[in-house]
Amino acid sequence: MNTIVNDLASKQCRPCEGGVPPLSPAQAAALAERLDGWELADRQIAKTFRFSNYYQTMAFVNAIAWISHREDHHPDLSVGYSACRVEYTTHAIGGLSENDFICAAKIDALSRI
């Protein structure tokens, strides 16, 4: 695993209730480069993970739920038989925050187990 990704994955999300600006496009692009295969859009990052069967997909979704609970930062998920699309944005600020990238790095680490 990339040591830079380990750096993000080792961080903890900070509470975000709004009142701070979202990351600039340049800041978001720099953090996106530290992730593996996440798509960067205007106000979100997203990645689709593929699996062999429904059981593996649901185990992954449940692990994401556990990470989300611990970090108190929750993605939008689209779940199918053998795929899960994960989308992060920080709704309270209407864009991306470092929390989105921290959680994405944690999910990347999880997907490698």
CATH of the domain at 59: 3.30.1360.20
The span from the CA of 113 to the CA of 99, in Å, is 22
| Composition of the chain by helix, strand, coil, percent to 5 | 45, 20, 40
Predicted structure pTM score: 0.90
Please, which residues have CB within 8 angstroms of residue 55's CB and are 6 or more apart in sequence? Answer: none
Q: For residue 34, give its domain range.
A: 25-111
Domain assignment of residue 49, yes or no: yes
The span from the CA of 37 to the CA of 58, in Å, is 21
pLDDT, tens digit, 9 for 90 and up, residues 3-51: 454 589 888 888 887 788 999 999 999 999 999 999 999 899 999 999 9
The span from the CA of 40 to the CA of 71, in Å, is 21
Domain assignment of residue 85, yes or no: yes
Domain assignment of residue 5, yes or no: no
Give backbone dihedrals phi and psi of 30, rounded to 5 degrees, phi first: -65, -40
pLDDT, tens digit, 9 for 90 and up, residues 91-100: 999 999 999 9
Domain assignment of residue 34, yes or no: yes
Domain assignment of residue 11, yes or no: no
Q: What are the tokens at 62?
A: 């449940």
